[in-house]
Structure 1
Amino acid sequence: MATRQAKTGYWQTVALLGVMGIAPPLLAQAATTDVDPDVELPATNISAARQDNPADEGHGVVAKQAQTATKSDTALIETPQSVSVVTKEQIARQGANSIPEALRYTASVIPELRGNSSAGAPYLISRGFYLEQFLDGARLPSDSSFGYAVPSFDPYGLERIEVLHGPASVLYGQANPGGVANLVSKKPTTEPLHEVFATTGSHGRVESGFDLGGRLADSDTLSYRLTGVGVDTDTQVDHARQKHLYIAPALTWQPNEDTSLTVMAKYQRDPDVGYYNFVPAVGSLISGSNGKIPTSHYLGDPGFDHHSKTQTSVGYEFEQHLDSVWTLRQNMHYTEVKDELSNVFTNGYASGSNKVLNRYAFFNDENAKFFSVDNQAQARFNTGELAHTALMGVDYQRVLYEEKVGLGGAPALDAFNPIYLPVTRPSTSSDDLIRQRQTGVYAQDQIAYGQWRVLGGVREDWVRSDDDNPVQGTYSEQSERAFSWRTGVVYLFDNGLAPYFSVAKSFDPQAATRYDGSAAKPTTAKQYELGIKYQPPGSDSFVTAAVFDLKEQNVLTSDPLHPGFSNQAGEVSARGIELEGHANLTHDLALIGSYTYLRNITTDSNDSTTTVDGTTTSLQGKHPWGIPSHVASTWLDYTVHEGTLNGLGFGAGVRYLGASYDQSNSLRVPSVTLADASVHYDTGQHWLLTVTAKNLLDRRYVSSCFNSNICTYGDRGEVLASASYRW
């Protein structure tokens, strides 16, 4: 890793890059091979196809196929549920350095609920609920279940991100109703691929990486991919750094046209994850008697705070074509996340002060291990005029989660003139060991009849779990089963319009015991979705418009008859409109746009919270905290492909985040409009030079508030310059 550099101010960086004449980050793409979007991906080309996955189709920001929604390469226009695809081209052109940043222009997704604290815990929200992260179809630890042990793999190692909006249990088992964000890894390629890059800019960022691939030792059966990234940077907050090292090898063995085995591994070590820079509403959202707290002030304790994370993932994907009808697949993945956090958090102002903050010390050591295996049998056949793609599967998941927690006092701190005093590490107050096993059996049929496409799927799950906490002297175990299903229909008009309708259900087990001693039942969710997709014949574009009604039931809420216990009378409703489009309008001009309207309400709850003025109010009828009703974004990229300016391109984006509320709905976080930009220049002779600017106008804003004591600042302006070399 390069030596640390001094921080560079935002506008100084802008001026420096302008003088250099370097143009904005477009992290380079690997060599591509066009794939006909109307042709089924054959097993004989599986390694090459992994280089240019059908979702990308060699068309930059426009994807027309995806695997996540059906576990097969199905055209998006034939899928009766809203699916968003962020291609590697989009990730590169926008200079995304994290999964939340890569999803900034995706409909319905709120990727940075925690603002500049998202590096430590990337809270992803879709349609008002948590958005589960999956890696190559395998479930990862999520914010909603596992504290801070949430993986954050470098997006440079991804081929694309596929987001299935809404319930996804019929194929993936237990999941939050917000949907699935599937991180699809870069896979081995049979074509030679060589790229190295270096990046620098705001906050003294030092970053470099490589992406290599091709046939292994000129073998006819073996191909490889090796991707790596190293990052060392300061942040907008004093004393807070981010570092990580990422390495991802992969190997594909294809001995014949019918057999393919791809083995993949990922390792990412983050010795410095970042910082949770929580601030009170007065001094951030609202000016107090001392003004506003600078976004650079560190309100924890530099001598006590530490956050590190180690992520390891290994797995394989095996596929065997038996004949023209049957295909067998087995996908196995193991992921382990070790997270160590020691942090001093703020807890509002001391009595009678708008300057001195109460604080507490906290540590949280976690280890989350996820193992999953998915066995699939796919059959393609006809019955009369009906063409079937039937999928049957049995999957198994095992989770082992360990968490040690300590909570104690910490010295108060002047928010406007921080002077740090020694902090004592608290003693362990909880030592949790959670084990969970899930077995699922599912079946799905995709039927084509003329211009009709019908999808139906069912699933049965058996879940067993136990929770042992010797420090607190508690032990519980539970066993549940759940049935989920999905159905939908699409009609394909000749002009490219495709109206659709679908119904989907999901479930999510709950780790709680009710007053009568029985285990809490899984929450269940049901979604109705009506939409239309548009893929004009002869054009390179794809547009989706959808309206949805999503309701989650059996939500845990306080038991009014038995204080200290919960019942399952809670209910949350989300209704909305979702628009998203990707288009290569001309050979030179690309467009990405999205708009979401969401009415998200807690329709039934016995829980209460405290308002800004100190009164108690019920959560029933309230908007969940931090989720705006209106979100919109658009991105334009223009690249010259002829003449003296050949290879020069410009990108510009605008993101609108609507107003949101705190948990009590008594505190309103105003809307904000942010601008992004990029310039990129491909010399045509190996070099690609890029510059990206995020929050170009350096807007200072609050991203969300949980209550009057806990708000988070959003990311300030950042400019990065990158140089990539390919051969």
Structure 2
Amino acid sequence: MFRGQRLLSAGLIGVSLTIASQPAWAQLTQITAVQIQPTPDGLNILLGGIQDQSSQITTSVTDKTLTIEISNAQLRLSEGPLFRRDNPAANITALRIEPLAGNRVRITVVGQTALPGVTVTPEATGLSLAIAVTPPAAPDPATPAPTGSTDNPENIELVVTGQQEAGYVVEEATTATRTETPLRDIPQSIQVVPRQVIEDQQVQKIGDALRNVSGVSILQGYGGSTTNYTIRGFDSFVNLRDGFRDDGFYAIYDPANIERIEVLKGPASVLYGQLAPGGIVNFITKQPLRDPYYSGQFTAGSYNFYRPSIDFSGPLTTDGALRYRFNAAYESTGSFRDYVNGQKLIFAPVLTYDISDKTKLTVDFEYQGLDQTFDRGFMPDPRFLALPISRFLGEPSDSYDFESFKGRYVFQHQFNDAITLHNAFSAQSYNAKRENAQPLIIDGFLINDRFLPRRYTDVDEGAESYNMQTDLISKFKTGPVEHELVTGFELRRQQSGYVFRRTPFTPINIYNPSYGTPIPTEFDTVFDNDTTTDNAGIYLQNLIKLRSNLKLLVGGRFDFVTLRAIDLVNGGSRTKTNEDASAFSPRVGLVYQPIQPVSIYASFSRSFQPNFFEFTAPGVVLEPQRGTQYEIGIKSELLGGKLSATLAAYEITKTNIPTPDPNNPDFVIAAGEAKSRGVELDVIGEIRPGWNIIASYAYTDAFISQDNALPVGSRLVNVPRNSASLWTTYEIQQGKFQGLGFGGGLFFVGERAADVPNTLNIPAYVRADATVFYRRANYKVAVNVKNLSNAKYYDSQGFFIYPGEPLTVVGSFTLSF
């Protein structure tokens, strides 16, 4: 799978060295003050502090929105990390000034009835922007904005530019509504982990970024290859990638091309179909930029870890209509676990073409290859928790080879100011091969209190999925009431194959392991299944602005799911299974904003999951599992909008869980029920210039409330009653130590049930991390230390238990232009 990896790795390092030879940017300028003054036809904006006339100022236009970007500049306002005004002038509805990555500042001006124009004039005290809104047609996006006269003969250059996120402040997300919606207008808890947090924490396994979010517990995936989650008490084996479904065993993500991570708490079936009721994680990928951007990074750390990566982006045409982005990374690592190692390769090109000022097409592709040891961790038993965390209970030759190919297009056309069509198609293919010595589960787990029985497995698996989404977004009014209506449908087919072979194998002494038993060559085939799942969904959602401070979100989705399975085990004979399920999933929520920075909300939502392969005594497929959530909360923007907080309380009830039929144990009935109740707090933003924070706390009470076989009251697996996190960084803003920064964090996870019934609890732990870094205009050096106290801790896989990393040091060097 990894032929030529050494060449690629050397090539990526070479790119980093080549970048170092390019000229550095000019000295940074800082915008220290913003003054605005309404005028008869618009607005005057004075940006205090800009004195360098070599700064490049660029513009782009969309509909009634003017975007101005200033390169080689930082926004350093005493009142916070961003500047925002609603209705600052009679014909302007919004003004927003915010920092971007790569030392840039973006100014967004939204006209009420027409496109704003800008005249730029350098002045002694800063930079003056005269914004005017006039009825004539909008200028060509590729045409530079006019520049005003000045006593300084050097006018500032204006060209078309792009966008890139920066900082911890996030105000909008797409996961909750399928449109860019302010978080404060969403009647449901949604948390966003921005790119800056991923970089500051030097996240290598993308799942670790979710430790910053309340109510989310890491659920180690398939042999340590994937990462899933327990959210609000319920396991989630499905993720989203840019709004498209990625099923659990094949959902492998890499930080290289992830821009941010959005976590929607509670049922999400109203927009995404069959899902667990706890919530969904949506990985948002990086998109092409209008400005040239080149970045190379080399990272190395404990356990022979090294990773070169690149991120290139920019225009391919002079007018910026065709743009690209290319991310690539190669990773090679050992482990604190004996005989465990792995290699990973990812590359992800993206192209965006502005067909016109109303029409845009984006095409992307992603390849990932994984070649690593398949590690099953430990059994859920106290004797295993007493073992050294390095102890490996498989064979040194155990392996897992995985490849994925993902392609997608996104087409968007704006018919007019009120109607937009969004159409997207995704195709994904996965192939995997597993060979390993697998623990054999028996009563008591061990033979003679020391030997773990095993069998050897040989598994081939793969899947292909095709997904089409089409949304029509309409904005209109009924009297004084404003509507944003999303009408859409989704079609999806997934075809998967799974061949499972096994044979008896030698037990292993867990206290004094001996490896090297010859690998078997003959196996019994236990499973040989081909499965096709078709899903059709139709959904409708209306975000209604009843008043300026009162918003109603109402929606629903009908889903129709068909499963066809063929079992080929019995001598090539075919056993066919055909099952159907359907459900309606509603959501209703209300947001009240008594004052501008505060939102009080309440919502009701439902989810569903088919109970395929679960039959009642008459042979009828059990009705789908249903989840019902009631949630109330309050969202607040503190410190002038630079810090945001969400406090939420909820109750989720999951019903129709299969449980044995007391009158016929060979069948099931829908008598099982589980509940989860909790309170969550999330805080993120900038306390003062250069001082960032992301923190969380969750209290979760998740338990079995009804069942015919399991003890009622048993805690659900991998759900701590209490969990919390705190991460903060500070970067010196001026003086001779400008750019020097440091930070640290604590991650607390309370005691969790390892199984049901609750025979073992996974111990609570506190993990401490730290970082120190030095950032200049076009390079950054950073050292991160994870698990400073070398705490012993474990994560759950749902059954198996995985030791967490001990003290680990990671260093990185990044060049960006």
Structure 2 partner of 1:675 = 768
Find out whether 1:68 has 2:175 as its counterpart: yes
Q: How does 1:452-491 map to 2 (within 5 A)?
A: 452-471=550-569, 474-491=575-592
Structure 2 SS opposite 1:299: coil
Q: Does 1:137 align with 2:250?
A: no
The offset of 1:407, in angstroms, is 3.0
3-state DSSP class of the match of 2:387?
A: coil
* 1:128 paired residue among 229, 233, 236: 233
1:371 corresponds, among 462, 466, 472, to 466
Q: 1:97 aligns with which of 189, 193, 204?
A: 204
Letter in 2 for 1:372: N
Alpha-carbon separation, structure 2, partners of 1:193 and 1:432: 47
Aligned residues of 2:374 and 2:434 also touching (Cα < 8 A): no
CA contact under 8 A between 1:167 and 1:176: conserved in structure 2? yes
Is 1:584 aligned with 2:689? no
Distance, in Å, in 2 between the alignment partners of 1:350 and 1:574 is: 30
Q: Is contact 2:162-2:290 (8 Å) kept?
A: no
- 2:518 aligns to what? 422
Does the C-alpha gap of structure 1 residues 716 and 351 become closer, same or farther in structure 2, counting only changes over 3 Å? Answer: closer
Match of 1:615 in 2: none
Q: Does 1:298 pair with 2:403?
A: no
Are residues 32 and 512 of structure 1, via their aligned partners in 2, closer, same or farther at CA, if it must alter by over 3 Å?
A: farther
Once the two structures are TM-superposed, the CA of residue 138 in structure 1 deviates from its matched residue by: 0.3
Distance 1:331 1:352 in 2: 55
1:654 corresponds in structure 2 to 746
Aligned counterpart in structure 1 of residue 724 of structure 2, from 619, 625, 632:
632
In the TM superposition, residue 247 of structure 1 has moved relative to its aligned partner by: 0.2
Mapped contact 1:209–1:229 kept (Cα < 8 A): yes
Q: How far has the Cα of 1:85 moved from its partner? A: 0.3
**Cα displacement (A) at 1:434:** 1.1
Q: For residue 604 of structure 1, report the CA deviation from its aligned partner.
A: 1.6
- Distance across 1 between alignment mates of 2:432 and 2:711: 32
Query: Structure 1's 695 and 667: CA in aligned 2 closer, same or farther, altered over 3 A?
Result: same
Greater length-normalized contact order (CA 8 Å, ≥ 6 residues apart): 1
**Which of 596, 616, 619 does residue 698 from structure 2 map onto?**
596
2:712 alignment partner in structure 1? 620
Alignment pair present for 1:641 and 2:733: yes
- Determine whether 1:380 maps to 2:475: yes
Alignment CA distance shift 1:45-1:437 (3 Å) = farther
Q: Aligned pair in 2 of structure 1 residues 340, 581: CA closer, same or farther (>3 Å)?
A: same
Q: 1:179 aligns with which of 279, 282, 290?
A: 279
Q: Is the 8 A contact 2:635 2:644 kept in 1?
A: yes
CA contact (8 A) 1:199 1:721 kept: yes
Q: Deviations over 1:353-406 (max 9, x none)?
A: 333222222233211222111111111111111111111001111111111112
- Checking the alignment, whether the CA contact within 8 Å between 1:629 and 1:658 is kept in structure 2 is yes
Shift of 1:154: 0.6
- Superposed CA deviations along residues 428-477 of structure 1, whole A, max 9, x for unmatched, are 11111111111111111101122101100011111111111121563211
Work out the CA distance in 2 between the residues paired with 1:37 and 1:276.
Answer: 54
1:446 to 543, 559, 574: 543
For residue 191 of structure 2, what is the amino acid of its counterpart? S
TM-fit CA distance, 1:3: 10
What's 1:192 paired with?
292
1:271 Cα deviation from its structure 2 partner: 1.6
- Offset of residue 4 of structure 1: 14
2:337 partner letter: V
Unaligned ranges ≥5, structure 1: 6-27, 143-148, 286-291, 608-617
Give the one of 82, 106, 118 matched to 1:34: 106
Structure 2 counterpart of 1:542, from 620, 644, 647: 644
Residue 128 of structure 1: how far off its partner (Å): 1.0
* Alpha-carbon distance in structure 1 between the residues aligned to 2:596 and 2:355: 42
Describe the SS at the equivalent of 1:253: strand
Q: C-alpha deviations, 1:582-605, integer Å up to 9, x for none?
A: 020000211111001111011122
Say if 2:714 and 2:758, in contact at 8 Å, map to a contact too: yes
**Retained in 2: the 8 A contact 1:690–1:721?**
yes
Distance 1:482 1:202, change over 3 A: same
Q: TM-score, normalised by structure 1?
A: 0.88
What's the counterpart of residue 83 of structure 2?
none
Shift in alpha-carbon separation, 1:575–1:340, aligned structure 2, 3 A: same
1:278 aligns with 2:383: no
Check whether the contact 1:495–1:537 (CA below 8 A) recurs between aligned residues: no
Where does residue 395 of structure 1 map in the other structure? 490
Partners of 2:676 and 2:701 within 8 A in 1? yes
How far apart, in 1, do the equivalents of 2:219 and 2:447 lie? 33
In the other structure, the counterpart of 1:359 is 454
CA contact (8 A) 1:496 1:537 kept: no
Question: In structure 2, what is the Cα distance between the partners aligned to 1:50 and 1:568?
Answer: 53
Is contact 2:564-2:579 (8 Å) kept? yes
Structure of higher CA gyration radius: 2
Percent identity of equivalent pairs: 28
State the SS of the aligned residue for 1:261. Answer: strand
In the alignment, structure 1 residue 499 sits paired with structure 2 residue 595: no
In the alignment, structure 1 residue 325 sits paired with structure 2 residue 431: no
* Cα distance change on mapping 1:309 and 1:45 into 2, 3 Å: farther
Q: What's the CA shift string for 1:602-639, capped at 9, x where partnerless?
A: 112223xxxxxxxxxx3432111222111100011111
Rounded to whole Å, the distance in 2 between the matches of 1:603 and 1:328 is 45
Q: Are positions 1:268 and 2:368 aligned together?
A: yes
Name the CA shift for 1:39/1:133 in 2 (closer, same or farther; >3 Å).
farther
Change (3 A) 1:619 1:34: farther
Matched, 1:511 2:511: no
TM-score, with length taken from structure 2: 0.78
Match of 2:303, SS?
A: helix
SS of the residue aligned with 1:170?
Answer: helix
- What SS does the aligned partner of 1:123 have? strand
Distance 1:351 1:101, change over 3 A: closer
Identify if the C-alpha distance between structure 1 residues 431 and 118 changes in structure 2 by more than 3 Å, giving closer, same or farther: closer
Q: Any residues of structure 2 matched to 1:563-582 within 5 Å, and which?
A: 563-582=665-684
| Equivalence map 1:331-346=2 (5 Å) | 331-346=424-439
Report if aligned partners of 2:597, 2:638 keep a CA contact under 8 Å in 1: yes
Q: What is the CA–CA distance in structure 1 between the aligned matches of 2:373 and 2:739, rounded to whole Å?
A: 36
| Aligned equivalents of 2:364, 2:105: Cα separation in 1 | 22
Task: State the distance in 2 between where 1:391 and 1:334 align.
Answer: 24
Q: Which deviates further from its counterpart, 375-384 or 421-430?
A: 421-430
Partner SS state of residue 250, structure 2: coil
Map 1:199-278 onto structure 2 (within 5 A). 199-272=299-372, 274-278=374-378
Preserved contact between residue 446 and residue 453 of structure 2 (Cα < 8 Å): no
2:750 & 2:761 partners in 1: Cα distance? Answer: 11
CA distance, structure 2, for counterparts of residue 659 and residue 223 of structure 1: 49
1:398/1:159 Cα in 2 relative to 1: closer, same or farther (>3 Å)?
same
Q: Which runs of 5+ in 2 are unaligned?
A: 10-99, 116-137, 143-159
Q: Alignment RMSD, CA only? A: 2.5
**Alignment-mate amino acid for residue 595 of structure 2:** D
SS in 2 for 1:92: helix
The question of whether the paired residues in 2 share the 8 Å contact of 1:244 and 1:270 is answered with yes
CA shift, 1:325, in A, is 1.0
| Contact persistence 2:614–2:658 (CA under 8 A) | no
Structure 1 Cα separation of the partners of residues 419 and 700 of structure 2: 42
> Structure 1 residues 37, 411: CA separation in 2 closer, same or farther (over 3 Å shift)?
farther
**2: CA distance between counterparts of 1:233 and 1:71?**
38
Mapped to 2, the partners of 1:171 and 1:282 lie a distance apart of 42
